[in-house]
Structure 1
Amino acid sequence: MEHFKALALKFLATLALLYIILGLYYGMTFGTVFLITLIVGIISYIIGDLGILPRTNNAIATLADFGLALAVIWVMISLLTASTNAFTMALFSAIGVAIFEFFFHSYMANILKNPQDRNDQTKRRDLQYQTEASEEFTPEVNKDYENRR
């Protein structure tokens, strides 16, 4: 269920972002933007978020998602439209997707953790620490030894 929520969040955010860049700025139709978002979202979720992110860190996964988004969006724009500046459109779109992915990876890192680990973190926050104190600052070691004689 958590993967479905993450995929839905990623799809909606990417759709809004790509519609602003490709739809409103470059005049692409909503259906084309929807199809590009669907393909980019599924491929980058499987390869970037489930494949690369657990094995590396956020920066490497974001760079991989940037390259993946650039390639997929560039090919999709070239195939679906008759635009002459497909690379520029894909570049600006991929930069926007990479910025979103940088923040999305922190959400994904929490999902990919073992549920036991997430519960352990919650338990660790509930610990109450106490300080042990005594009345004397320097112990008198020889006092007991002298009383025994």
Structure 2
Amino acid sequence: MQNVYRLAAKFIPCLIVLGIILGLFFDFSFGDVLLITAVLGIVSYVLGDLLILRKTTNLLATIADFLVTFLVVWLMGRMLTNENNLIWASVISAAAVALFEYFYHGFLTNEKNKQFTNTSRSIQQQPQFQTEAAEEFTPVKPEVRSSNDNK
């Protein structure tokens, strides 16, 4: 269920961004934009978010998402449309999606940190009892002292 929520949180903004860039400026149909966004969402979620982001930094995952977006838009654009400026459409789309992905990765990282913090808090809130034991090494009693100790 958590993956569905994350995919939806990724799909909707990417659909809006690609719809504006590809639909308005490069005359892609809404069906083409929807198909490109669906393929891009699944591929970039698996590669960028589940594999790369977990093992590297946000910057490297964002660069990987830029490359994946460029390749998906360029290859699917060649298959679906007769557009001549696919390189520019791919570069602009990849830059816009990478900008979104940078903040999306921050959201995922914060979500993961919150889960870790909640887990560690629940573990720390369990009472931990420890007994204290000590011996007095040199008990001092007034009747045991010698008369030389008072001087």
Structures share a fold, TM > 0.5? yes
Structure 2, unpaired ranges of 5+: 123-148
Give the counterpart letter for 1:39 in structure 2.
V
1:1-149 aligned within 5 A:
1-112=1-112, 115=115, 117-120=116-119, 149=150
Deviation at 1:96, TM superposition (A): 0.4
Q: Distance in 2 between matches of 1:91 and 1:41?
A: 17
Deviation at 1:112, TM superposition (A): 4.3
Give the counterpart letter for 2:82 in structure 1.
A
Instruction: Give the direction of change, closer, same or farther, for the CA distance of 1:111–1:119 in structure 2 (3 Å limit).
Output: same
Deviation at 1:118, TM superposition (A): 2.9
Asked if structure 2 preserves the Cα contact closer than 8 Å seen for 1:54 and 1:109, the reply is no
Asked if structure 1 preserves the Cα contact closer than 8 Å seen for 2:14 and 2:97, the reply is yes
Q: How many equivalent pairs are there?
A: 125
Deviation at 1:120, TM superposition (A): 4.9
Task: Look up the SS of the partner of 2:54 in the other structure.
Answer: coil
Give the counterpart letter for 1:61 in structure 2.
A
Partner of 2:146: none
Deviation at 1:111, TM superposition (A): 4.0
Runs of 4+ in structure 1 off by over 6 angstroms are none
Q: Percent identity?
A: 40
Please list the CA deviations of residues 5-41 of structure 1 after superposition, one character each: whole Å capped at 9, or x if unmatched: 1100100010000001001122211000000000000
Asked if structure 1 preserves the Cα contact closer than 8 Å seen for 2:26 and 2:83, the reply is no
Task: Report the RMSD for the aligned CA atoms in angstroms.
Answer: 2.1
Deviation at 1:110, TM superposition (A): 3.3
Give the counterpart letter for 2:55 in structure 1.
R
Please list the CA deviations of residues 67-95 of structure 1 after superposition, one character each: whole Å capped at 9, or x if unmatched: 11101110000110001111110110000
Deviation at 1:121, TM superposition (A): 6.6
Q: Please tell me whether Structure 1 or Structure 2 has the larger radius of gyration of its CA atoms.
A: 2
Instruction: Give the direction of change, closer, same or farther, for the CA distance of 1:122–1:14 in structure 2 (3 Å limit).
Output: farther
